[in-house]
Every structure is written in C-alpha cells, then in structure tokens.
Structure 1
Amino acid sequence: MSKPNRILLILDLNGVLVHVANKLDCHFRFEADTFISGKAIIRRPIRDDFLKFCFERFYVGVWSSRKKLNLVRLLSISLCPKEGTGWHFVGTNPIALPPSCCFVDNIDKLSC
C-alpha cells in the first residue's frame, strides 16, 4: 500500500530507542534487557507505542554510529518492527550518500 505525502523520519538508535550502557553502569539502577558486545541494552519505556505511532504516520528509518554487526544484532533482538511494518532503511556509519550530494569545504566561499 502506498503512503503518499509521508515524510522520512530517521531515528537514532543510540539514546532514542534504546539506552546502551556498560555492564558496570546497570548494577542497581536498572535491569538490562540484553547484552551485546559487553554493553547493556535497555529498551526505552513506551518504545513500542512510539514506534507504532511513527510507522502509522511516517516512512521510518533507523541510524546508528555502532558497528554494522552490532546494529544488526540489536535490531534482530530488540527492535524488530511489528508485522505489516518495516524499516524504510537501516543505516550505519558511514552512510553512503547519493552522488548528487555536494559538500562545501570552506563555508566562507558559500554564496547565498
């Protein structure tokens, strides 16, 4: 089904959808949902409701500065979208930008 006039919403995985902490940080304050590469993964409260809201209204992508392997593991363990929805894209650092993107090396040379 087409989603006309929808905006692409890119969510940062780290800190927005989950909290990633060292094992030592979570001994008394909170309980980790899982551990990946020695890091405690804590799902944000009401994350499921928030994602449902986003998937109903936007194209949703997720991005992370984490390594691709850790990102894939994290998505498969704790952030799989519900049936009938799906990530519009999943990006990790570095994101491949289209060749049409241009960058300005010296902002002083930019004319408005």
Structure 2
Amino acid sequence: MADKLKKKIVVSDESSEDENELDLPLEKLNLGPKKKLLVLCLGGVVAHRVHVRDKHTVRGLKPDVTYGKFLVFKRPFCTDFMKFCFERFVVGLWSSARDHNIDGVLSCITGPGMRSKLAFVWSQDECTESGFYCLRKEEKPLFLKNLKDLWEKKYRSLPWEKGQYSSLNTLLVDDEPHTCLLNPPDTAIFPQPYKKPDLKDTLLGEIELVN
C-alpha cells in the first residue's frame, strides 16, 4: 500500500447518481487517551456476498471464501484497513444479515487472530424492525441499527460500562443510510457500496495510515 494515501471517502446517495466526497472522520475519532468505538457493516463495506443463484454476476471471478450457498469477495485493502482499525479503535461488526450467514464473511475479512479483537459481532437479531420492505426486493425487510443499544449496554456481554460511549465518540460505517434513521446526526458515514468485485476499488486504501 502506498505510504501516503488520500484521506477521503466517496459517499453514496441513493437519491442521486452524483458522487460526493466526504472526509472520513477516523482521525477525529482517534483524538484523546481512550479509543473510540467504530462499528462496521459487513456486506457492502468490507466485502461482497453473492448467493450461488446469482453467480452469473461474478462469472470468471474467484471468491476469497465459499460457504454454504454463498460466495464472498473481500474488498481490496480490507486486511490493511482492518489492522488500521484494530490498532486505533474499539471495533465491532454489525450486520443486518442472519447470524448463521455471518461466519463465512468474518473468516474472509478478519483473518487469523483478528476475530478475537472484535468487541462484538451483532446480526439481524440485534437490529430493530422498521416495518417496511425493500423496494427492489419486496420480500426483504428493512432493518435499523439503533446505536443507543450499544451506548446503554443492552447486553451484558458488551465489554464496556453503560454510558462509556455516546454520539460523541461513536461512528457507524454502513452502506445503507436507512439503517441509521434512529440515530443522532453525524454518527454515521455511508461509503460507496462494494456491490461487485473490482480489483481497482481503492476505497479502503484511501485512508492515510498515521499514528
């Protein structure tokens, strides 16, 4: 990876085809003596998962991991990005996928020894049902990720005290803006989704790796 890389990220706006640029506020989160909380989405941010029935969309491409009926493609620079995050932040993963569909993706993106560094791994079970369904896939419900569940330590297994994290020291990185409808402003960013394997994709590498 280049020593100096751009510190900006492309934001996806589903209401427009235009692409905007937004400074990724990771350095801001890293200020102060205590590590801040970084919550990462799985599919669409660090990896792309394809069901075998849709394998024609990735014809000729070799997946990084195959599990069950899914093919998983790791986003370029994913390993370095995850190392960067683990060194500087308390990192958790929150996916809207079902729990049993997460393991294959995790094995792909975290690598040996990395998974134990995750503060938590949440799935669809920890999401809030919106009561609405996806326009493109009418059978797919839309789920919300309520950060208050983390801040108020909804589950005892979370490795921090209630009130340790808040909107001031938490950032959610997700590819679907609707997931954050219950959260305060400026607690999430929405990078360009990784919806098709592309070796030229450099989004996760567009962060300057500094101490």
The one-letter code sitting in structure 2 at the alignment partner of 1:60 is: V
- Counterpart of 2:139 in structure 1 is none
1:9 maps to 2:41: no
Give runs of aligned pairs for residues 18-57 of structure 1, distance below 5 A: 18-21=47-50, 22-28=54-60, 30-57=61-88
- State the shift of 1:83 in Å: 3.3
Q: Distance in 2 between matches of 1:42 and 1:70?
A: 14
1 CA distance for matches of 2:91 and 2:112?
13
Q: CA deviation at 1:72?
A: 2.3
Indicate the structure whose relative CO is greater, using CA pairs within 8 Å and at least 6 residues apart.
2
Match of 1:86 among 117, 121, 125: 117
- Aligned equivalents of 2:100, 2:82: Cα separation in 1: 22
- Higher helix proportion: 1
TM-score (norm 1): 0.71
Per-residue CA distance 1:32-76 (angstroms, 9 max, x = gap) = 11223422210011101000100010000011111101112332x
Hey, which bits of structure 1, 4+ residues long, moved more than 2 A? 34-39, 79-85, 96-100
Structure 2 unaligned segments of length 5 or more: list them: 1-32, 128-148, 156-161, 163-211
Say whether the 8 Å CA contact 2:99–2:125 is kept in structure 1.
no
Code of the residue aligned with 1:92 in structure 2: it is S
- Structure 1 residue 72 corresponds to structure 2 residue 103: yes
Aligned partner of residue 73 in structure 2, secondary structure: strand
- In structure 1, runs of 5+ residues without a counterpart are 101-112
| Secondary structure, counterpart of 1:66 in structure 2 | coil
* Structure 2 partner of 1:105: none
Q: For residues 64 and 36 of structure 1, what CA distance do their matches in structure 2 show?
A: 17
Say whether the 8 Å CA contact 1:7–1:58 is kept in structure 2.
yes
Normalising by the residue count of structure 2, what TM-score does the alignment of the two structures yield? 0.40
Q: CA RMSD in A?
A: 2.4
Code of the aligned partner of 1:26: V
